[in-house]
Structure 1
């Protein structure tokens, strides 16, 4: 589809967000639509920061892989070896690799395989979730769904467990681990963990469907390992270029599982195209939708960020 048709789709769908296409390091198309803050009429710009929901899992995976390179973790490290008495329902044989590939089988606090809608209230006291340890009561008490390694089963809680393992292996907080091991080395100066109750002026407020209510009560007040970091279209281009210039691209993007229900494959924290080498990060949550793809052969990156739950998908389908 010609990039000029983006305006038509944005108008027809009421799209609020940013679309950017880069080819071989050159910006081919970049445009913002809609409002970052509806109450004050603040427009989105191409530099607006958006929460990217599960797109943040890629940042968690790369943080874990950096600890593996240093010998502080291994793919076969068991969760139980670092959890101690915490989360006793996680089986003894669940490993870091199982968690990275969504094959751990552990019960999930946010089970997308069940009857779940993005705008549901699912996490209780959102304001207390400022640290990884604070997630422990939320993660606890969920029986296993299947045996470790038995199949693919998308698991948000597994990526918070990964954050916890990373913290305990490194003795450093998750947010600082991501900043020092992913954001800093990649030069992602516009990407960070922003509190939803004190967003800076350059960040988009996330809005629920069908009105002007924000998502402040729907998501953890501070994002964690399963997603929610804020970023920009420009920083996503930097992210992909840094990934494929670094040491972890091959292991992170090696296909580990075919996921036929999504017509995709999965690596370590990254979705992969079913038949070619395109790598994908995507996220969907209350007041946030996001998709960014990168073709390592042509250096083409396409990114769609939106501050509404369904907003990104019509634009992403047209582009990708």
Structure 2
């Protein structure tokens, strides 16, 4: 413990002691610190004024064989695939093959007389379609995500689903919406999504290390994904990528994503009008345009910059891409160990770009993770209460704390999960995800009345939370 404190203190001094120290050196020290905290394994790239100023790799691409990550290691990018899908769709619009204001049923006749028949391409791109996300199916991951589907069979899973709101009136993230975009492009062009992506984007701008992944493929230099576990790592869970087409099936490298960023900045792929539409903020609070969150990226409590960003999370991998148009800047992290504090890491990288001081602190959840493994959840929470008062040396990432509760729940350590989740619910009362996790754990413990309370709390924070709605409906129907 003392060594961590000494490391953190020395690191803060180093970052703030030398004005002459280059941004590259500061960025490198920062990422080394995150790696030493078991907070980052993967590749990172930072660009400013259209030039790469820092690029590095950390940790292992494969733990079984001790193969290190490199800057040309290929990572699954999860939902960072959505900006690529959006651009690919806009290219088809630019070609005159698809119209943004035409409906799903105009291109997929099987949607006629279905709830989403009149949803437009524009609404699919901006997550304002009202089509629900796959989390409305409570056993989606164990029962459905591991299966292989023909396109039409997968569409049949959600084609009859009721819309969660009138299209165009609200925002709600929908991976099914983006799968539908991919399927429309396949039907219109007669080409597979992967072939069209390669032809219209990857080959055009030299993204030679990117592609659509399927589990039977052998991809040279592709990383294996891992989850941080209590006292070590576990290998990623399996998901068949046939149900992530258009939403999360791409792999890439930091260099290839920089090429994509450059192509968007120079209108190499899209004309200025469509690019401007793509980067126009949508309905608040998400301000999602076409494939991007277009909003202020806050890197200190008082400083922010206009940005386009997207997060990707898939089994064993986390990716985060932040474009900064005003300086033609880019921050990319591709990580093959989950979870990690992606906002914290990228926020600190941005601080270096804007010459802000960094006081890196030890992440509380990493200490808690170890204590749970060695002494149990009760002792871990005792330590948590001490650490949260020591803000000079520790910081708390609510997402990672919530993940600990979810992970314990997955391991069927329900009582440990309850202890961590109850602490999280008290500490982070305004986080809808924390409330849903608490509800899920109470539900698993057959404490239905308590579960109902927390699903209602989640909906009070975010009325559009479909998982909370469905769980609540299920429990109240079984009273």
Offset at 1:134?
4.8
Once the two structures are superposed, what CA deviation does each residue of 1:236-295 show, in whole Å capped at 9, x if it has no partner?
A: 111000012111422211222222xxxx52111111123753211221122111111122
Q: How does 1:146-225 map to 2 (within 5 A)?
A: 146-210=165-229, 212-215=233-236, 217-220=238-241, 223-225=244-246
Would you say 1:128 and 2:148 are equivalent positions? yes
- Stretches of structure 1 that go unaligned for 5 or more consecutive residues are none
Larger RCO, structure (CA 8 Å, separation 6 or more):
1
Give the corresponding residue for 2:283.
257
The structure in which a higher percent of residues are helix is 2
Residue aligned with 1:22, SS = strand
Offset at 1:223?
4.6
Give the corresponding residue for 1:270.
292
Would you say 1:56 and 2:90 are equivalent positions? no
Using the size of structure 1 for normalisation, the TM-score is: 0.88
Once the two structures are superposed, what CA deviation does each residue of 1:105-163 show, in whole Å capped at 9, x if it has no partner?
A: 0122245xx989xxx8356263514x644522433443221111120001110000011
Residue aligned with 1:297, SS = helix
Distance 2:70 2:85 in 1: 27
Residue aligned with 1:258, SS = coil
Would you say 1:298 and 2:327 are equivalent positions? yes
Aligned pair count reads 310
Report if the CA contact (8 A) 1:10-1:315 is conserved: no
Q: Which aligned runs of 4 or more in structure 1 are off by greater than 6 angstroms? A: none
Q: 1:311 to 1:177 in 2, by over 3 A?
A: same
Give the corresponding residue for 2:263.
242
Distance 2:112 2:145 in 1: 19
Offset at 1:199?
4.2
Give the corresponding residue for 1:319.
349
Question: Larger C-alpha radius of gyration, 1 or 2?
Answer: 2
Offset at 1:67?
1.1
Match of 1:9 among 27, 34, 38: 34
Kindly report the root-mean-square deviation, in angstroms, between the aligned alpha carbons of the 2 structures: 2.5
Residue aligned with 1:302, SS = strand
